[in-house]
Structure 1
């Protein structure tokens, strides 16, 4: 956790996001292109990841859409 910060975010890499969401790699990228899935944040020149908050929010939106 950063000093002075009250929130700590976990970063999920793509294989973890696939397991959490149950979506395949190609589906994740298609949904991102359509604007229906959060885009990852750039971690380094080649590495990206998603915050736990972004994935949790997306999952919550899917649950609300199904209700």
Structure 2
């Protein structure tokens, strides 16, 4: 069996309050942007929305450069 020497990258999952703090958007703005397809879509885990930190970071970098 061969193992890779690459470290595992763990992607943190963020809840609404963390996404609000990170983006400065309200919950209703986040929902509206998600519905329009202008914001990363959340994962549904146990009925709750969670966002991958890496997706939000990439989205924020893309928005800054636009």
Specify if TM > 0.5.
yes
Structure 2 partner of 1:54: 55
Task: Output aligned runs, 1:5-16, within 5 Å.
Answer: 6-16=8-18
TM-score by length of 2: 0.84
Classify the secondary structure of the residue corresponding to 2:50. Answer: strand
* Counterpart-to-counterpart distance in 1, 2:48 and 2:32: 19
Deviation of the 1:38 alpha carbon: 0.7
For structure 1, the 5+ residue unaligned runs are none
Q: How many residues align?
A: 61
TM-score by length of 1: 0.83
For structure 2, the 5+ residue unaligned runs are none
Deviation of the 1:36 alpha carbon: 0.3
Q: CA offsets, 1:29-63, max 9 Å, x none?
A: 1111111001100111x212001111101101111
The CA RMSD over aligned residues, in Å, is 1.4
Larger Rg: 2
